[in-house]
């Protein structure tokens, strides 16, 4: 039993505190790269607004005292339904980048999705934190088969394919700032790709500016057949895309608008989640990201159809603020808030967080 008035004993008491600490470590250009969305950032606001339109209903005297937060995604056991997102250029925020994020995930009993455009290689992150580095992300471009082989050889359990990024979104703040980060921070997996060995600058240019032979679903399905691991389609917003991804062989989906960094204005992820869940039925694992900042957000996403959520910026705030400790702090804060809400709302388990526990309020 904690001896303080607070339910958790963490170095940081709130995400706001972590956010402030994170911002103090970076230039305004880097902060813009992190915080910014595409276009006029309508979607950035919409992602948050969607969460604030929902309320959690109390269940007085439910008798729930020790809810179980355990769940699993594609057979990977999780102590909390919160994963950390693949984000490229991680070394811009902290030299340890995803090594720190995956270590924090491991400590919190969850999983990091290790990015292709990260600072450290898939192999290195997995060596540092084998319990946290369980899923690796790649882009469906010409080098996908090569990097998928590396992911399998390194011992990952699943591959996350980002399907919403045929070209980088029109990121207004980066253009305004002429943001030109050190490409080294993105280079962990982008060298030695075995296709005439393009430079990191070339690969990045193709990722950001398009022209990277973005595949259609048929091509992705043909390559993914050889992945030898289950794969997750990240960047699904519509029932139609969900169905195409499943037809192409995806074993799970991430309902995501890429943290509002691709199409603007795109719908909020949370707003599209119920329709995607209805379209794919109850069995397909569906994750959600974009705008998750609190334990209440996790509860709402689960209630509206997600099996788990992924945090992007919230994890990066922790990383920039204090490396492993910071990311662990964020995961613990969100998890603890979720636990408290489950008790107050009478949800005994993750599966017990259902739509009936939530009220949508119209503005």
Ligand X SMILES: Cc1cc2nc3c(=O)[nH]c(=O)nc-3n(C[C@H](O)[C@H](O)[C@H](O)COP(=O)(O)O)c2cc1C
Active site residues: 258
In the chain, count of helices (H) and strands (E)?
A: 13, 12
CA contacts within 13 A on the Cβ side of 37: 22
Q: How far apart are CA 119 and CA 116, in angstroms?
A: 9
CB of 61 to ligand X, least distance (A): 35
Is the CB of 166 or the CB of 343 nearer to ligand X?
166
Tell me: cis bond preceding 265? Omega within 30 of 0 counts: yes
Is the CB of 104 or the CB of 117 nearer to ligand X?
117
Closest by CA to 70, choosing from 60, 58, 81, is: 81
- Residues at the interface with ligand X (CB under 6 A): 34, 85-88, 115, 117, 137, 162, 234, 256, 258-259, 289-292, 311-314, 316
CB of 32 to ligand X, least distance (A): 10
Contacts of 149 (CB under 8 A, 6+ apart): none
Backbone phi, then psi, for 218, in 5-degree steps?
-65, -45
Reported as type and span, the H/E element at residue 231 is: strand 231-236
CB of 77 to ligand X, least distance (A): 22
Is the CB of 129 or the CB of 138 nearer to ligand X?
138
Is the CB of 160 or the CB of 353 nearer to ligand X?
160
Beta bridge partners of 84: 112, 311
Is the CB of 110 or the CB of 345 nearer to ligand X?
110
Check: CB of residue 303 under 8 Å from CB of residue 353: yes
Closest by CA to 333, choosing from 1, 4, 16, is: 16
CB of 94 to ligand X, least distance (A): 12
Backbone phi, then psi, for 72, in 5-degree steps?
-150, 150
Q: Which two tokens stand for residue 159?
A: 């591959």
Which residue has the CB atom at the shortest distance from ligand X? 312
CB of 363 to ligand X, least distance (A): 21
């Amino acid at each position: 039993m904690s001896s303080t008035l607070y339910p958790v004993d963490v170095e940081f008491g709130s995400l706001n505190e972590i956010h402030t600490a994170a911002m103090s470590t970076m230039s305004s250009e880097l902060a813009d790269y992190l915080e910014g969305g595409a276009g006029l950032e309508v979607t950035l606001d919409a992602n948050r607004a969607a969460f604030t339109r929902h309320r959690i209903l109390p269940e007085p005297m439910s008798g729930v005292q020790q809810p179980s937060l355990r769940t699993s995604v594609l057979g990977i056991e999780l102590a909390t339904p919160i994963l950390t997102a693949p984000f490229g250029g991680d070394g811009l925020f902290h030299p340890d980048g995803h090594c720190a994020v995956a270590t924090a995930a491991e400590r919190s009993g969850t999983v990091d999705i290790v990015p292709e455009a990260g600072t450290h290689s898939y192999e290195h992150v997995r060596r540092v934190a084998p319990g946290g580095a369980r899923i690796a992300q790649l882009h469906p471009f010409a080098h996908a088969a090569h990097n998928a082989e590396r992911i399998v050889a390194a011992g990952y359990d699943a591959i996350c394919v980002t399907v919403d990024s045929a070209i980088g979104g029109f990121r207004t703040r980066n253009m305004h700032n002429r943001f030109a980060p050190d490409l080294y921070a993105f280079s962990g997996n982008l060298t030695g790709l075995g296709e005439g060995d393009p430079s990191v600058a070339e690969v990045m240019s193709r990722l950001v500016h398009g022209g990277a032979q973005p595949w259609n679903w048929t091509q992705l399905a043909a390559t993914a057949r050889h992945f030898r691991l289950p794969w997750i389609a990240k960047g699904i917003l519509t029932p139609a895309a969900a169905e195409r991804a499943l037809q192409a062989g995806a074993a799970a989906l991430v309902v995501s608008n890429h943290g509002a960094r691709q199409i603007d204005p795109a719908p909020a992820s949370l707003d599209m989640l119920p329709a995607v869940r209805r379209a794919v039925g109850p069995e397909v694992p569906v994750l959600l990201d974009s705008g998750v900042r609190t334990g209440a957000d996790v509860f709402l996403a689960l209630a509206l159809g997600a099996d788990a959520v992924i945090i992007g910026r919230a994890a990066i705030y922790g990383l920039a603020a204090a490396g492993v400790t910071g990311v662990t702090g964020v995961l613990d804060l969100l998890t603890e808030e979720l636990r408290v809400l489950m008790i107050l709302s009478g949800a005994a388990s993750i599966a017990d967080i259902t739509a009936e526990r939530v009220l949508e309020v119209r503005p």
